C-alpha cells in the first residue's frame, strides 16, 4: 500500500510490475497534530522493522505522538526484543530498541531516516 497527500492513479505498468494500491490521506494536520489513527494503520501495515523503530524513536524524541498509547492500540511489528545497531556513513552508531526508546541522539536519527533503504 502506498500513501500520499495528492489523489492520483497508479500507472498500469507500475501496478502490473508491483502489485500495490494507492491511498490518498493527509498524515499530519500540522507537525504537532498527527492523525494518530492513520499513523497506527500505517505502522500496522509496515513490514520494515527498521522503519517502524526509526519512526517510534523519532516520535518519542519529538513527542509528536504518544508512542505508548499508539503501541497499546495498534498491532505494530517491532521485531525481536533485541536492539538493532548499525554504523551510519558519518561513523555514528545508531541503536534502535524495539519500542522506540532511543540510545542515539536525534541528529543521528535524522541522518538515518534520510539514508535508510526501504527494502532492508
Higher-pLDDT residue of 116, 64: 64
Cα 54 to Cα 5, 6, 67, 89: the distances in Å are: 22, 25, 12, 17
Q: Where are the domains of the chain?
A: 2-115
Please give the angle made by the CA atoms of 56, 75 and 67, to the nearest 5 degrees: 30
The DSSP call for residue 28 is B
This prediction's pTM: 0.56
pLDDT tens, 71-104? Answer: 899 998 888 888 888 887 888 877 787 777 655 4
Residue 14 is placed in which grid cell? 507500475
Dihedrals phi, psi of 12, to nearest 5 degrees: -60, -40
pLDDT tens, 7-54? Answer: 778 888 888 888 887 777 766 555 555 678 888 888 998 988 888 888
| Cα separation, 18 vs 12, whole angstroms | 10
Amino acid at each position: 500500500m502506498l500513501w500520499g497527500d495528492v489523489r492520483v492513479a497508479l500507472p498500469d505498468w507500475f501496478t502490473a510490475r508491483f502489485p500495490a494500491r494507492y491511498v490518498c490521506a493527509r498524515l499530519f494536520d500540522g507537525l504537532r497534530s498527527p492523525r494518530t489513527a492513520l499513523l497506527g494503520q500505517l505502522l500496522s501495515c509496515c513490514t520494515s522493522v527498521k522503519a517502524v523503530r526509526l519512526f517510534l524513536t523519532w516520535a518519542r524524541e519529538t513527542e509528536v505522538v504518544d508512542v505508548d498509547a499508539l503501541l497499546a492500540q495498534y498491532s505494530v511489528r517491532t521485531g525481536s526484543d533485541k536492539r538493532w545497531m548499525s554504523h551510519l556513513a558519518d561513523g555514528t552508531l545508531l541503536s534502535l530498541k524495539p519500542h522506540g526508546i532511543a540510545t542515539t541522539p536525534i541528529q543521528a536519527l535524522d541522518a538515518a531516516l534520510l539514508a535508510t533503504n526501504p527494502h532492508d
